[in-house]
Amino acid sequence: MYELSISNRYLYTKALSKAAFFLMLALSFLTLYGCGDDVDLSNTSGNEHGVLLDGEDSTGQLNDKTFVTASDTVDVGNIDTSAISNEVIAFTNLRPLAITTPAAWTSGSDNIPVPFANEINIPVTIWIVRGPFGTQQLRALDAVTTTVGIWDDERMGVTPSPIQIVDATGDPDASNFFAFDCSLQNGIENNIGKTNGRINVYYVDTVDGGTGRGQACSIGSDFVAMGRFTGNELLSHEFGHDFGLTHIDNLIANFNQTNVMHSASNTRQYLSEGQLQRAHMKPNSALNAVYSARPGEPTRNCPRDTANDECVDIKKRIWSDGTFPAN
Ligand SMILES: [Zn+2]
């Protein structure tokens, strides 16, 4: 039978207290720096998620620290409260931007809930002013389909639905608006028709003199005019103006004609996360001003070129857009 001698027992006890000491040290370290915080996404769509995080860690203030994951539980490391900004913005396909602000980071273990709302449906009325009706109805529906594809791929979280198409080709006033410019906006709304509380799209002949042109007539709007031979991707561009977005043409280091908000293109397909934040959060975006589609959610008037703790940099990309990498 084995028995500890007095000296062995002393060494054994000493080893135990040493282990206890290091255990305590580890625990106090974890308490000091937090034990791995989570962002808990809910009502997700089964697609990859991207998260932009503001807070503070051992390196200092974090602004839009980026995480990409397929998991609904995003391990964000050890985040503590910052004196400047504490929030989480999340993006995923088929869901509108989700934001939790402020995010209550503590020195302990945090689980910050970030619930996605369901995809936003926006009813749209399309007026075919210049016929033939059948041809132009198909053109309009193709443009809607292209818009849906871009928004689904680029995580807008919005679908134009339901779509009402009105045959206004027989309206006696129709020809007054075939050659459209924005001085005729009130006239076309009053004489052809307008359904309030939604975006109204008018397919005319020319817009600003071109059959391939469109106009939203203002930034943050419920209006779109489309020329008779417009490309299918132009509607997503004009809706972008309705959502408060401006052109990005002169930001040539970070954008090109593949971006939805380029003014002259037929290859529009991408939206940056900076653009998504503005489309959802600008008070004059039709999502807020026309549809009230984000009840109780915060709005922010972020100019295109303002990048700070409240306004995501317009060129911020969680995912690459063609030749422009994630940044
Ligand atoms: Zn434009």
| Structure-token pair, residue 135 | 């041809």
| Ligand 1 centroid distance, CA of 86 (Å) | 34
Query: Which of 18-32, 106-120, 172-186, 248-262 is the least confident region?
Result: 18-32
Q: Which CA distances in Å does 123 have to 134, 160, 196, 289?
A: 21, 6, 11, 14
The pLDDT value recorded for residue 35 is 60
Tell me the CA–centroid distance for residue 248 and ligand 1, in Å.
Answer: 9
pLDDT band at 244 (very low <50, low <70, confident <90, very high): very high
User: How far is Cα 274 from Cα 245, in angstroms, rounded to an integer?
Assistant: 10
Instruction: Look at residue 325 and tell me whether its pLDDT is greater than 60.
Output: yes
pTM, two decimal places: 0.89
Distance (angstroms) between ligand 1 centre and the Cα of 225 equals 11
**Conformation bin of residue 82: beta by default, left when phi > 0, alpha when psi is -120 to 50:** beta
* pLDDT score, position 5: 52
| pLDDT(1) > 50 | no
**CA 135 to centroid of ligand 1, rounded, Å:** 24
* Burial class of 60 by CB neighbour count within 10 A (0 to 12, 13 to 18, 19+): exposed
Cis-peptide into 102, omega within 30 deg: yes
* Region of 83 on the Ramachandran plot (φ > 0 left; ψ -120 to 50 alpha; else beta): alpha
Q: Starting from the edge strand earliest in sequence, which strands make up the sheet with 37-42, in order?
A: 73-77, 37-42, 111-115
User: Has residue 97 got a pLDDT over 70?
Assistant: yes
Instruction: Please work out, in degrees rounded to the nearest 5, the angle formed at the alpha carbon of residue 149 by the alpha carbons of 281 and 320.
Output: 70
Give the distance (Å) from ligand 1 centre to CA of residue 96.
Answer: 23
CA of 249 to the centre of ligand 1 (A): 10
Question: In the chain, what are the helix, strand and coil shares in percent, each to the nearest 5?
Answer: 25, 25, 45
Q: Kindly give the pairing relationship between strand 120-128 and strand 158-167.
A: parallel
Taking the centre of ligand 1 as the mean of its atom positions, its distance from the CA of residue 237, in whole angstroms, is 6
**Residue 298: helix, strand or coil by DSSP?**
coil
Q: How far is the CA of 262 from the centre of ligand 1 (A)?
A: 7
Residue 15 pLDDT: 58
| Confidence band of 61 (pLDDT split at 50, 70, 90) | very high
Question: What domains can you pick out in the chain, each with its CATH number?
Answer: 37-115 (2.60.40), 120-289 (3.40.390.10)
CA of 227 to the centre of ligand 1 (A): 13
pLDDT at 34 over 50: no
What digits encode the pLDDT tens for the residues 260-310? 999 999 999 999 999 999 999 999 999 999 999 999 999 999 999 999 999
- Residue 43: per-residue pLDDT: 98
Q: Using the mean position of ligand 1's atoms as its centre, give its distance from the Cα of residue 180 in Å.
A: 15
Average pLDDT, the chain: 93
Report the pLDDT averaged over residues 247-264. 97
| Structure confidence by residue, pLDDT tens digits, 186-234 | 999 999 999 999 999 999 999 999 999 999 999 999 999 999 999 999 9
Question: Which among 125, 132, 82, 124 is positioned nearest to 103, based on CA atoms?
Answer: 82
Residue 62: the pLDDT is 97
